[in-house]
Amino acid sequence: MSNSNIHCNKKDMNTLLSFKQGLTDPSHVLSSWVPNLDCCQWSGVKCDNITGRVTNLDLPCHTSHPKVVEFGEKDDKLHCLSGSFSLSLLELEYLSYLNLSNNNFKSMQYNSIGSQKCDDLPIGNLSHLCGNSSNLRYLDLSQNYDLLVDNLHWISHLTSLQYLNLGGVYLHMDIDWLQSVTMLPSLSELHLKRCKLENIYPFLQHANFTSLQVLNLADNDFISELPGWLFNLSDISHIDLSQTCLHSQLPDALPNLRSIKSLILSHNYLRGPIPSWLGKLEQLQELDLSYNYFSGPIPVSLGNLSSLITLILESNDLNGNLPGELGQLFNLETLRVSKNSLTGIVSERNLGSLRNLKNFSISSPSLIFDFGPIWVPPFQLLNIELGNLKDKLPSWLFTQSSLKYLTIRDSTASFEPLDMFWNFTTQLESISLENNTINGDMSNVFLSSKVVWLVANNLRGGMPHISPEVVVLHLRNNSLSGSISPLLCHNNKRKKSNLVYLDMSYNNLSGELTDCWNDWKSLVLINFRFNNLTGMIPHSMGSLSNLRFLYLKSNKFFGKVPFSLRNCKNLRILDLCRNNLSGLIPSWLGQNVEGLELRSNKFSGNIPTQLCKLQSLMVINLASNKLSGLIPSCLHNITSMLSSHFVTRKFDFTLNYPGLSVYISCNVPMLIKGNELPYVHLMKAIDLSSNNLSGNVPLQIYMLTGLQSLNLSHNQLMGTIPEEIGNLEQLESIDLSSNNFSGEIPQSMSALHFLAVLNLSFNNFAGKIPAGTQLGSTNLSYIDNPDLCGPPLTKICPQDEKPPNIKPMGGGDDDKSEVCSWFYMGLGVGFAVGFWGILGTVFFNRRCRHAYFRLLHRICKFVIQKLNSITEI
């Protein structure tokens, strides 16, 4: 707030009150904005100490980051300012600082105090009608993720603007965004990250950014070559175009950027060699070209960048040696060149002078690591990532007492002595070992890192011991065996467990799923798929109130699904496929369930109508059980299957902890299109196949317009397929085989353009198969329907049968017609001559007359035989 002796300008106060009228303020942040209180005392408002004019408006919304953030989930902004952002705020003539970032604005109101709309006016006429804030130097509307801005014409009159941040604001409707921002002569920082921009003006050669120092266009939708204007910036010191979709080589104009300090072009489609002139950018401190398609060798000229602190070239197609000249970069703190096709030898010659190195990443199948056994590096790393190691681990690794993050993958190197290695890992915050050949017994190993990611290393023996500090424990695809009790029941209980992610799938675990879950209430994901676990699912799992993903597929569990799981209110995926579970299908599932996988068990009874109340349900897989009765007619009440706008749901989440953020991607195995695949997106699917269901398919099921897969095969269903099936426009797979369906196949099915798999075999369908590429791909879709006809079946429909056409012998149709004409013409002429030549003889000589008719009979017989052979051809 401002000095209490300052009195607010009345005009400014009215402008602020007008702006407030279009807002929703659930947290009463603007409760002090009342006319009887000086506006210089209002929350977020700062005035000039002399004039009393409003100079600063600072009202960002502060949100907390939850520990578990699911894919697409945003920070809770229910307490933030929302409504319409009005440009009338720019009527504040002396406003220099405006920060409304991370709020929840939904739209932009272009009307100012003037009578016309800013976006309807020529750009040159905006200054007197759309505000007079020529003093505005700082404008931040970033992270208003639902804010849609039609155009940026209104911004061109803010001639003093130096900082502009619209990151996260939707600008995709503005095709002239560049024209607007280039009219800001003082602009030094431009942040338009994740704005859904599409037009990057690839043919524009020049843009007037004389003062620009920071440009951030990351995470947009640019699909073009790099434009010429981008590299005609005269004094830029930071370029960030990461995670866009650009498709070209770096242009030759870039060496003119002598003062550039940070160049980030990661996550693009850039290709070609890395230009050697990058070594002339003497002030460059950060170079990130990762996740592109650069090829060729790493330029030795990069060794001239004495100011370089960060060099990231990973995930490209680079080849050749790691240049020894990089060892001259004495200020280098980050060197990441992994996931390329580098060759040659890496030794202390490459790293011996990098005394400031903190982050190091290198891997390539053809690289040879040749470090001396007694060499001690001059640096202490915080993070190291190694790959494709052979023979043994570098001995200098164990000298890194400051190391916090270790990754080793795709290596055949020996980890012996294992005791020394596991003791070394106790200092780490995160350890990731994937696809190595460790071959170690884990029974006596103590793991204390927050993230333990040990995947496909052929680890064996019993369960390891873990610290309460472990957040992620991932031991998938090893050879672990025995009971899980040592892990869950015999650990130190004096401290509260922080374990969120537990994945022990694809091992040889046996015994029961122990009843010790009350001590693990922080768990979000449990995965024991493909083991040999048995017994009943314990009731104590119902105490896991944070549980969102439960995978117990392909074990030997039996009995009923415990009623206590109703307490898992946050459960998203319940996968119990391929066990021996029995009883009724659970009817008490929570409203958040999106995937119900109960395939290949012994469930019986009817399908509960309570499933229709699960508005978020996207997968219903009850196949290969003993269910009976009718298909519920209320399935159309599942609203998530009615929408075709959000076809898929991605199950990824991020774990946020102090100093640690872990991104985890979950897959959902589903049997769709005849194959079981691990989908990272959840399709909308119903599979009720291989049960004892009867009756007609309810008409309401054809109202699920978002449905992508429907399998009702191997039941006792009857009735016809209605024309309404054409409503399922998103359908990719439908299987109605081995039932008692009858009637004709409706013509509306030919409009299902996404349909890739169709199976109507072993039913009683009749009539002609409708035309349509997706309906006529194979006759296997229609076998054992005796009354069906038409392509792709060989049976011709009665209405399509035509009298046989007599065609002449020959090559093409034209040839056949010509031969036919001459053939009949010759017959006519020959007949006339022969007739009149022998007519008298025939009639006046009996012997000749008898001989003539015998000859005529033979000719007729011969002609008939020839005509028959021609017809067959």
Judged against a pLDDT cut of 80, whether residue 70 lies above it is answered with: no
What is residue 574's predicted lDDT score, i.e. its pLDDT?
94
What is residue 582's predicted lDDT score, i.e. its pLDDT?
97
Measured CA to CA, the distance from residue 75 to residue 60 in angstroms comes to 14
What is residue 114's predicted lDDT score, i.e. its pLDDT?
39
> How many Cα neighbours within 13 Å face the side chain of 68?
19
Give the number of other Cβ atoms within 10 Å of residue 423's Cβ.
13
Determine contact, residues 361/335, Cβ cutoff 8 Å: yes
Residue whose token pair is 């996207």: 618
Residue 608 burial by Cβ neighbours in a 10 Å radius (0-12, 13-18, 19+): middle
* Cα torsion angle, 772, 777, 779, 785, sign: negative
Judged against a pLDDT cut of 70, whether residue 227 lies above it is answered with: no
What is residue 45's predicted lDDT score, i.e. its pLDDT?
95
Determine contact, residues 660/432, Cβ cutoff 8 Å: no
Residue 471 to residues 80, 419, 478, 503, 658: CA-CA distances in angstroms?
31, 23, 20, 12, 12
Of 460, 487, 491, 494, residue with least CA distance to 473? 487
* pLDDT tens digit sequence for 251-306: 544 443 455 677 777 877 777 888 887 888 787 888 888 888 889 999 999 999 99
Omega of the bond leading into 746 within 30 degrees of 0 (cis): no
Of 315, 181, 310, 182, residue with least CA distance to 243? 315
Q: Which of 577-591, 594-608, 692-706, 767-781 has the lowest mean pLDDT?
A: 767-781
Residue 538 to residues 153, 365, 543, 598: CA-CA distances in angstroms?
63, 46, 10, 17
Determine contact, residues 280/256, Cβ cutoff 8 Å: no
Which residues, 6 or more positions from 417, have their beta carbon under 8 angstroms from its beta carbon? none
Measured CA to CA, the distance from residue 476 to residue 527 in angstroms comes to 9
pLDDT band at 504 (very low <50, low <70, confident <90, very high): very high
Between 516 and 661, the higher pLDDT residue: 516
What is residue 224's predicted lDDT score, i.e. its pLDDT?
61
pLDDT band at 242 (very low <50, low <70, confident <90, very high): low
What is residue 460's predicted lDDT score, i.e. its pLDDT?
95
Judged against a pLDDT cut of 70, whether residue 69 lies above it is answered with: no
Measured CA to CA, the distance from residue 589 to residue 595 in angstroms comes to 11
Local structure of residue 515 (DSSP, 8 states): S
What is residue 855's predicted lDDT score, i.e. its pLDDT?
53
Which residues, 6 or more positions from 283, have their beta carbon under 8 angstroms from its beta carbon? 258, 259, 260, 261, 307
Determine contact, residues 755/778, Cβ cutoff 8 Å: no
Omega of the bond leading into 792 within 30 degrees of 0 (cis): yes
Measured CA to CA, the distance from residue 384 to residue 386 in angstroms comes to 7
**Above pLDDT 70, what percent of the chain?**
77
What is residue 122's predicted lDDT score, i.e. its pLDDT?
42
pLDDT band at 659 (very low <50, low <70, confident <90, very high): low
Judged against a pLDDT cut of 80, whether residue 8 lies above it is answered with: yes
What is residue 632's predicted lDDT score, i.e. its pLDDT?
95
Q: Please work out, in degrees rounded to the nearest 5, the angle formed at the alpha carbon of residue 445 by the alpha carbons of 443 and 450.
A: 125
Judged against a pLDDT cut of 60, whether residue 821 lies above it is answered with: no
Kindly state the average pLDDT of the residues 542-564: 95
What is residue 342's predicted lDDT score, i.e. its pLDDT?
95
Q: Which of 542-556, 792-806, 841-855 has the lowest mean pLDDT?
A: 841-855
Determine contact, residues 665/602, Cβ cutoff 8 Å: no
What is residue 66's predicted lDDT score, i.e. its pLDDT?
60
pLDDT band at 65 (very low <50, low <70, confident <90, very high): low
Looking at residue 646, its amino acid is F
Determine contact, residues 816/802, Cβ cutoff 8 Å: no
Determine contact, residues 201/229, Cβ cutoff 8 Å: yes
What is residue 675's predicted lDDT score, i.e. its pLDDT?
60
Residue whose token pair is 């690591």: 369
Judged against a pLDDT cut of 80, whether residue 112 lies above it is answered with: no
Of 411, 412, 394, residue with least CA distance to 403? 394
Q: SS3 string of 40-96? A: HHCCCEEECCCCCCEEEEECCCCCCCCCEEECCCCCCCCCCCEEEEEHHHHHCCCCC
Give the number of other Cβ atoms within 10 Å of residue 75's Cβ.
16
Which residues share a beta bridge with 677? 670
Which residues, 6 or more positions from 301, have their beta carbon under 8 angstroms from its beta carbon? 276, 277, 278, 279, 280, 325
What is residue 833's predicted lDDT score, i.e. its pLDDT?
41
Give the number of other Cβ atoms within 10 Å of residue 650's Cβ.
15
pLDDT band at 683 (very low <50, low <70, confident <90, very high): confident
- Of the segments 454-468, 666-680, 821-835, which one has the largest average pLDDT value? 454-468
What is residue 839's predicted lDDT score, i.e. its pLDDT?
46
Q: Which of 106-115, 613-622, 680-689, 856-865 has the lowest mean pLDDT?
A: 856-865
Which residues share a beta bridge with 660? 657
Determine contact, residues 458/420, Cβ cutoff 8 Å: no
Over the chain, what is the mean pLDDT?
Answer: 82
SS3 state at 839: helix
Measured CA to CA, the distance from residue 329 to residue 325 in angstroms comes to 8
What is residue 702's predicted lDDT score, i.e. its pLDDT?
92
Determine contact, residues 253/232, Cβ cutoff 8 Å: yes
Could you give the domains of the chain?
1-179 (3.80.10.10), 629-800 (3.80.10.10), 813-872 (no CATH)
Give the number of other Cβ atoms within 10 Å of residue 600's Cβ.
20
Between 577 and 63, the higher pLDDT residue: 577
* pLDDT tens digit sequence for 156-193: 889 899 999 998 899 888 778 888 888 888 888 888 88
Which residues, 6 or more positions from 244, have their beta carbon under 8 angstroms from its beta carbon? 217, 218, 219, 220, 221, 222, 267, 268
Determine contact, residues 706/644, Cβ cutoff 8 Å: yes
Residue 384 to residues 359, 510, 661, 796: CA-CA distances in angstroms?
6, 36, 17, 70
Measured CA to CA, the distance from residue 193 to residue 161 in angstroms comes to 18
SS3 state at 455: strand
Residue 457 burial by Cβ neighbours in a 10 Å radius (0-12, 13-18, 19+): buried
Query: Token pair of 80, please?
Result: 């933030």
Query: Token pair of 8, please?
Result: 């607010």
What is residue 208's predicted lDDT score, i.e. its pLDDT?
72
Looking at residue 489, its amino acid is C
pLDDT band at 606 (very low <50, low <70, confident <90, very high): very high
Of 673, 683, 613, 623, residue with least CA distance to 651? 683
* pLDDT tens digit sequence for 128-140: 444 445 789 999 9
Determine contact, residues 6/49, Cβ cutoff 8 Å: yes
Radius of gyration of the chain (CA): 38
Measured CA to CA, the distance from residue 777 to residue 27 in angstroms comes to 60
Determine contact, residues 751/726, Cβ cutoff 8 Å: yes
Judged against a pLDDT cut of 50, whether residue 119 lies above it is answered with: no
Q: Which of 145-159, 291-305, 637-651 has the lowest mean pLDDT?
A: 637-651
